[in-house]
Amino acid sequence: MASTAAPRRTARAPAAHTVLPDEIWEEIFLRLDAAADLARASAGCSSFRRIVSDRRFVRCFRSLHSPPVLGLIRYGYREFLPVGPPHRSTPEARALAQDADFTFSFLPDPSAWSSRDARDGRVLLSRRISAAIAFEDFLVCDPLHRRYVKIPRILDDLLAASTPDNGTARHLLPVLAPTGDNDEESFRVICTVQDKGKRKVMAFVFSSCNQTWQGIISTIYLPNGFIGCKPYSAHGCLFWMFFGKGYSLMLDTSEMKSSIIDLPPHNFDFGSMRAIVEAEDGRLGFLTIGDGTIDLYCKNWQSNGVGAQEWQHDKLIPLPKDSGINYSWDIVGTVGRYVALVAHDPICDESSPNSELFVLDIETLLVEKLCTLNNGMFCGFPYARFPPPLTLPSI
């Protein structure tokens, strides 16, 4: 009887793996939603890590994805309020709060310094030496790596040359300037001075590149009003509001030129909460808080503001209903496409009012809760992004 042999199987050659060029992987990685997803992807292999760590790629990713708000810093204090659950940035915020030193204990005499501003993961601190000195001392700190750079004091001669009428200059809030795409490791500090008598606005700029203060040549005369608040940042410019006025002072930090821009028609009383923001599609946005809602106006924008269209009402954004209609809302600050908000509960005891902190995403129009402050009214600014390292400490 003839045996039936089983059919002989031919071994298949292993399928060839398609090797994608780095340019395709870059496009894939740029479409990830968050930096945490990017970090997980970079752990896949050495080639992924090489692509993700390239400085050009990092700059491109940051230009497309605004860093999430990780917490808030109370103005004048050395205190960090990390984002809490259920916000998706809670793990990163907790890691930052655990590893960073927002009490700035690494400074000589840390209790003498007060927080004034934060940008790109760095914090600007100041201290007053004496009433006879016009300007304060400044430090730019990296709380994560525990490093700092001491800023030399503005020379009295430079101040006198810019404000010849002695005694009429008013020192305004110092701020960290927006960082350009190609100079993320450097920083600038801007101090603005307003001449009370002539309503003339000037500014002084310190650059970490040349380690000196310079007076801005571009000056501007205000129609009326005085600057009384910290500026908002959008598209590389700083925007100062005026109490009860329908215009804003804009400083283009790339060209260091000042100009006045008109705001959309609105009831600009002294109690109105307003902010300039980065809207989607490269537009400029203007926010006002009304009765339980936020009005968003937008306009097309060019870097110098020339030829921009008129403001158009774009969105009506509802505020969270579970925070109560009687809450007093305020705008804390802006970071990229995010706007930090605070709601004060008027029912709580006046000695320890309750403040709930939120963030508005201009792209999704979602308002999410960040954390709760139970021991006082909140005044401060948002903190986002892990900082790039500073130079070694210096005195």
Instruction: Summarize pLDDT for 208-217 with one digit per residue, the tens.
Output: 888 888 877 5
pTM above threshold 0.85:
no
Whether 72 has a pLDDT exceeding 90, the answer reads: yes
Instruction: Summarize pLDDT for 173-219 with one digit per residue, the tens.
Output: 789 998 765 566 789 999 887 766 656 777 888 988 888 888 775 66
Q: Which of 137, 173, 134 is nearest to 157 (CA)?
A: 134
Please state the rounded mean pLDDT for residues 6-12: 58
- The amino acid that residue 103 corresponds to is T
> How is domain 66-384 classified at the CATH fold level?
Neuraminidase (2.120.10)
**Winning range, highest mean pLDDT, from 28-37, 109-118, 270-279:** 109-118
Whether 241 contacts 229, CB under 8 Å = yes
Identify the DSSP state of 269.
-
318 vs 18: CA distance, rounded Å: 48
Q: Which residue has the higher pLDDT, 93 or 302?
A: 93
Please state the rounded mean pLDDT for residues 234-250: 84
pLDDT band for position 56 (cuts 50, 70, 90): confident
pLDDT band for position 395 (cuts 50, 70, 90): very low
Write down the mean pLDDT value for the chain.
80
Instruction: Summarize pLDDT for 275-311 with one digit per residue, the tens.
Output: 999 888 888 999 998 878 899 999 988 655 554 578 9
Please state the rounded mean pLDDT for residues 345-371: 80
pLDDT band for position 367 (cuts 50, 70, 90): very high
- The pLDDT assigned to 394 comes to 42
Whether 49 has a pLDDT exceeding 70, the answer reads: yes
Query: In terms of DSSP bridges, do strands 220-221 and 212-215 run parallel, antiparallel, or are they unpaired?
Result: unpaired
DSSP string, 167-227: T-EEE---EEPPPPTT-TT--EEEEEEEETTTTEEEEEEEETTTTEEEE-S--EE-SS--B
Domain edges within the chain: 22-65, 66-384
